[in-house]
Each structure stands twice: as structure tokens, then as C-alpha cells.
């Protein structure tokens, strides 16, 4: 297993010796020019050159079933999105200081997918920037600074969001006004009381902040807790924690970078599963199906103070080409019925994994909604002993069986599955066939 504790399924460059000469050479060039901060996936890194729908193709022409891609979410190189980008790029690309229909039309279409109170949008290029902006807005609205996140949360790369991203590891410090609370682990705590349990953790963090003279500005959570290990049910378990932060004068920021855009099948947005209306929502990744566009949606009164005090201009955020990509992506989600497909294929996959748990006792828990899933692997189903090393092997063996997925969670023993939204029942069967063979090898 990689020595890199801060990222699961990371390639260990010290093991490059066993790779073919061409890959070794590219890895060496990469390290020479990109430095030490980048990580590759897999013990045997993949060299991908083409994507189409749910498939990726490597440099040798081998085909891989992509069950991990939450960026090209409506399918790799989707023709409608590609055409929209090409047409707009051939016509004009500027920024939001000129009048243009694109950003307005997209914003109107986007906010129409939210509860009516969340009626305004601001655009960025990455999820990190969206969370960075959301923190500035929350702090300006509340006049407070404290932020509560979960124990293994990831919210992005800027200085401000790295300071609220404990999953970056102990060598990346959290802010002095940041508190990390345990995730709502429904496998190890009673699901029936998990909402109250999680709210109690949030309340402890609020009390601790106040004791240190810090007023809470926000509770910021990924609504499917993806880096914490994928915790989706029983909804609405998130509601009591949101009540606690609001009672303390803070806002609820829903990070929908992972959960958003129909991925959870039952809803367009992850927070909707919990019957909540957040104060601020951030989004990114699948928004432009691979084209960099991200954003923040909120109630007008939340944006109001920030807009008065600080002008906002993001050179690339909301440019016409990005908005065309995002509009086409939204059209594809709606026209191809991808939310319903995510619900159907996701439920099918979870049923199949639950069935498989009777045959392969490595499977301890199967959770998720739509096409966002966590399969927790254990050495002993009764004792729930984490099978961390085996999870790493499972991920790498699946890659050798031409199926791409990864691992997540505090103990690195949760298989993280995020197939593309058009994943079919046939694709699900292909995945299960590979999983059956790989479990038998563990
Ligand atoms: N929030 C969450 C929940 C994420 O998973 C990510 C990216 N993995 C981000 C924010 C940051 O997005 P980006 O990489 O586009 O900056």
C-alpha cells in the first residue's frame, strides 16, 4: 500500500520499478516538471487517452468501465456538451463585465432546480473557489468566523478551504476558528438516533468555539459525507445539526460538489434528501461535465451584505463557454432522465452488493443513494473489523479487471462508487461480475 496516508489509492513512486519502461519514463518526466505534490491513482497507474460514455480507453486501446467519475457525470465527451462548447467557443468567449445572455439564462435554469427561496447564483471555476466564496459570504452575513466541518471533510485547495479540510492530513493545519466533528457513521452508531448524536457533536463544537471567544459562522458539510465514508441514511438525520448551528446564529452551507446534479437519484440535490433548505449551497465537479465551472446558490438576503461591501469579479467564472457547457449538461440530465436512471441503477447495484454479502463476507455494509455508494469492507461482519489492506487490494484488482473505482473513509475500508449517471443495468452487471471474481481472490 502507498505510504501516503493523506490520500487513499495513491501510487507510491518508490514502487515504479515494476512498471513498463514507457510508463516509468512518463512518471519520471511528470515528477521532474510537476514536482512532489501531485498523486496518481493505483499501484499500476492508468494512462488514459480517450473517453466515451461510461468507458475510458488507455494508451494500449484497453477499455475500462468507469464507475468512479463524478466529473464527466453525464458520460465522457457527451456529444451535446462537446457541441455546445465548440459552438460557443467559435462565437465568443468573454466575461461577466459585458452583458451576455448565457450567464443569465444558465443562472435562471440552475436556480429553477432549487427550492424557491434559493433564487440567486454566483459563478466560479472550481469547487474550491465556490467554498472559499461561500465562507466569505457566510462570515460577512453573520459577522462571525467559526466554521464546523466533519472529521475527514474535504472542501478544496485554497488557503481558506484547506483550513476547513481535515482530510488533507495533520500536516495541513486547520484554522484556529475551525472545529472538526465526527462524521455521522451509521454503521458504528445506531442509525435510529444518528441525527441526535451528530447534532450533539455539532453542539459540542459550538460550545467549544464560544468558550474560546469564537462565534460560529457556519456548519459546512458535504451532504453525502463522501470523504468521511459515504453516509446518506436514514435521512433526514442532518436536520437536528442544522437546527443547532442556526440556533447559535450560524448558517448551514451545503457542499454539493459531490452530491449535486441528480447523482443521488432520489433528488437533484443532496440536501433535499434531508428535507432541508440550506442558507448557502456550493457546487462544481459535474456542473459542466468536465468543463471547469462551479458556483454558489443562496437566498438573496445572504448575498446582499457581501454584494454591498465587496464587488465580485471572477475572470473566468460564468464565461459564455462555461455557461454553454453547464446549460448543455443540465439539458442532458433532464432530457435523458438521468436522475431516474441514477435511482434505478443505484438501487439495483445496492441490492446486488447486499446479495453478494452472503457469499463474500468481506462486505460489511452497503450504503448510498442513487449512484453515490459506499461499500464498507470488514474482516468480520459481526465485529466490523476494518479490512483496510483488502480494500486497497480490491480497488487495484478491480482496475486489473478493467473497472475503475476507489476507496474512502476514516479507516480506508470503504469502496467509493460513483458511476456516471447513464450507467445501465448491463454496466452494473459487468461491475458485479468483476467484483465477484475479485472478492474471490482477496
Ligand atoms: N468539495 C468537495 C466535497 C469535493 O469533493 C471537492 C473536490 N474533490 C471540492 C469541494 C473541491 O472542488 P475542486 O477540486 O473543483 O476545487
pLDDT digits (tens, 9 = 90+) for 221-262: 999 999 999 999 999 999 999 999 999 999 999 999 999 999
pLDDT at residue 159, as a whole number: 97
User: Is the shortest distance between the CB of 155 and ligand 1 below 6 Å?
Assistant: yes
User: Is the shortest distance between the CB of 156 and ligand 1 below 6 Å?
Assistant: yes
Nearest to 283 by CA among 329, 338, 251, 321: 329
pLDDT at residue 418, as a whole number: 98
Of 155, 293, 322, the residue with max ligand 1 atoms within 8 A of its CB, to mutate for a pocket test, comes to: 155
Which atom number of ligand 1 is nearest to the Cα of residue 292?
A: 15
User: Is the shortest distance between the CB of 257 and ligand 1 below 6 Å?
Assistant: yes
pLDDT at residue 320, as a whole number: 98
pLDDT(5) > 50: no
DSSP code of residue 120: E
Which atom number of ligand 1 is nearest to the Cα of residue 128?
A: 16
Mean pLDDT of 310-314: 94
pLDDT at residue 6, as a whole number: 58
pLDDT at residue 403, as a whole number: 98
Burial environment of residue 90 by CB neighbours within 10 A (0 to 12, 13 to 18, 19 or more): exposed
Mean pLDDT of 375-401: 98
User: Is the shortest distance between the CB of 157 and ligand 1 below 6 Å?
Assistant: yes
130 C-alpha to ligand 1 centroid (Å): 9
| Dihedral sign from CA coordinates of 255, 260, 265, 267 | positive
User: Is the shortest distance between the CB of 127 and ligand 1 below 6 Å?
Assistant: yes
163 C-alpha to ligand 1 centroid (Å): 14
User: Is the shortest distance between the CB of 329 and ligand 1 below 6 Å?
Assistant: no
Give the strands of the sheet with 294-298, arranged side by side. Answer: 120-124, 294-298, 280-283, 251-255, 216-222, 146-150, 178-181
Which helix H or strand E contains 2, and what residues bound it? none
Which atom number of ligand 1 is nearest to the Cα of residue 222?
A: 3
356 C-alpha to ligand 1 centroid (Å): 32
User: Is the shortest distance between the CB of 126 and ligand 1 below 6 Å?
Assistant: yes
Task: For the chain, give the percent of residues with pLDDT over 70.
Answer: 99
User: Is the shortest distance between the CB of 284 and ligand 1 below 6 Å?
Assistant: yes
pLDDT at residue 414, as a whole number: 98
pLDDT at residue 361, as a whole number: 97
pLDDT tens digit sequence for 7-17: 888 898 888 88
Task: For the chain, give the percent of residues with pLDDT over 90.
Answer: 94
405's grid cell: 473505482
- How far CA 308 is from CA of 108, 120, 279, 296, in Å, comes to 22, 15, 18, 17
Count of CA atoms in the C-beta half-sphere (13 A) of 359? 12
Q: What average pLDDT is seen over the chain?
A: 96
pLDDT band for position 284 (cuts 50, 70, 90)? very high
Determine contact, residues 224/259, Cβ cutoff 8 Å: yes
pLDDT(381) > 80: yes
Mean pLDDT of 388-408: 98
Question: What is the distance between the alpha carbons of residues 204 and 210, in angstroms, rounded to a whole number?
Answer: 10
DSSP code of residue 370: T
User: Is the shortest distance between the CB of 165 and ligand 1 below 6 Å?
Assistant: no
pLDDT(36) > 90: no
pLDDT(2) > 50: no
pLDDT band for position 142 (cuts 50, 70, 90)? very high
Sort strands 63-66 and 414-417 into parallel, antiparallel or unpaired. unpaired
Name the closest-CA residue to atom 10, ligand 1: 155
pLDDT tens digit sequence for 161-185: 999 999 999 999 999 999 999 999 9
User: Is the shortest distance between the CB of 167 and ligand 1 below 6 Å?
Assistant: no
Of 158, 160, 168, 284, the residue with max ligand 1 atoms within 8 A of its CB, to mutate for a pocket test, comes to: 284
pLDDT at residue 17, as a whole number: 84
Name the closest-CA residue to atom 12, ligand 1: 127
Determine contact, residues 156/127, Cβ cutoff 8 Å: yes
156 C-alpha to ligand 1 centroid (Å): 5
Rounded to the nearest 10 degrees, what angle do helices 101-111 and 320-335 cross at?
A: 40
- Least confident range from 25-34, 114-123, 145-154: namely 25-34
pLDDT at residue 209, as a whole number: 98
227 C-alpha to ligand 1 centroid (Å): 10
User: Is the shortest distance between the CB of 73 and ligand 1 below 6 Å?
Assistant: no
pLDDT(1) > 70: no
> DSSP per residue over 256-311, as a string?
-TTTTTTTTSS-SSGGGGGT---SEEEE-GGGGBTB--EEEEE-HHHHHHHHHHS-
Amino acid at each position: 500500500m502507498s505510504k501516503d496516508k493523506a490520500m487513499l489509492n495513491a501510487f507510491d513512486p518508490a514502487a515504479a520499478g515494476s512498471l513498463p519502461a514507457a510508463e516509468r519514463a512518463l512518471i519520471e518526466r511528470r515528477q521532474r516538471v510537476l514536482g512532489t505534490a501531485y498523486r496518481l491513482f493505483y499501484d499500476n497507474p492508468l494512462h488514459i487517452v480517450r473517453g466515451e460514455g461510461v468507458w475510458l480507453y488507455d494508451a494500449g486501446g484497453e477499455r475500462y468501465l468507469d464507475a468512479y467519475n463524478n466529473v464527466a457525470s453525464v458520460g465522457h465527451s457527451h456529444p451535446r456538451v462537446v457541441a455546445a462548447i465548440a459552438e460557443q467557443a467559435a462565437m465568443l468567449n468573454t466575461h461577466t463585465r459585458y452583458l451576455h445572455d448565457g450567464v443569465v439564462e444558465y443562472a435562471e435554469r440552475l436556480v429553477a432546480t432549487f427550492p424557491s427561496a434559493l433564487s440567486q447564483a454566483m459563478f466560479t471555476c472550481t469547487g474550491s473557489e465556490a467554498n472559499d466564496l461561500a465562507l466569505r459570504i457566510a462570515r460577512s452575513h453573520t459577522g462571525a468566523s467559526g466554521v464546523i466541518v466533519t472529521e475527514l471533510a474535504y472542501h478544496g485547495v485554497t488557503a481558506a478551504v484547506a483550513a476547513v479540510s481535515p482530510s488533507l492530513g495533520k500536516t495541513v493545519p486547520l484554522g484556529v476558528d475551525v472545529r472538526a466533528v465526527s462524521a455521522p457513521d451509521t454503521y458504528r452508531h445506531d442509525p435510529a438516533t444518528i441525527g441526535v448524536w451528530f447534532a450533539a457533536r455539532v453542539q459540542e463544537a459550538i460550545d467549544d468555539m464560544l468558550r474560546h471567544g469564537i462565534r460560529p459562522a457556519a456548519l459546512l458539510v458535504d451532504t453525502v459525507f463522501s470523504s468521511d465514508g459515504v453516509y446518506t441514511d436514514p435521512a433526514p438525520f442532518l436536520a437536528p445539526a442544522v437546527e443547532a448551528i442556526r440556533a447559535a446564529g450560524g448558517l448551514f452551507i451545503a457542499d454539493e460538489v459531490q452530491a449535486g446534479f441528480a447523482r443521488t437519484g432520489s433528488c437533484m440535490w443532496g440536501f433535499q434528501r434531508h428535507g432541508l433548505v440550506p442558507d448557502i449551497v456550493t457546487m462544481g465537479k459535474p456542473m459542466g461535465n468536465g468543463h471547469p465551472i462551479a458556483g454558489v446558490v443562496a437566498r438573496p438576503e445572504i448575498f446582499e451584505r457581501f454584494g454591498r461591501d465587496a464587488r465580485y469579479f471572477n475572470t473566468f467564472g460564468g464565461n459564455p463557454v462555461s455557461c454553454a457547457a453547464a446549460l448543455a449538461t443540465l439539458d442532458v440530465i433532464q432530457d435523458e432522465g438521468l436522475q431516474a436512471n441514477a435511482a434505478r441503477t443505484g438501487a439495483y447495484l445496492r441490492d446486488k452488493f447486499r446479495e453478494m454479502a452472503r457469499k463474500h463476507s468481506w462486505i460489511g455494509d452497503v450504503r448510498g443513494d442513487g449512484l453515490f455508494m459506499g461499500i464498507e469492507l470488514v474482516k468480520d461482519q459481526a465485529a466490523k473489523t476494518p479490512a483496510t489492506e483488502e480494500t486497497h487490494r480490491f480497488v487495484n484488482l478491480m482496475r486489473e479487471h478493467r473497472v475503475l473505482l476507489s476507496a474512502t473513509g476514516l479507516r480506508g475500508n470503504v469502496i467509493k462508487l460513483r458511476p456516471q449517471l447513464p450507467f445501465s443495468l448491463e454496466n452494473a452487471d459487468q461491475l458485479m461480475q468483476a467484483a465477484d471474481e475479485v472478492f474471490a481472490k482477496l
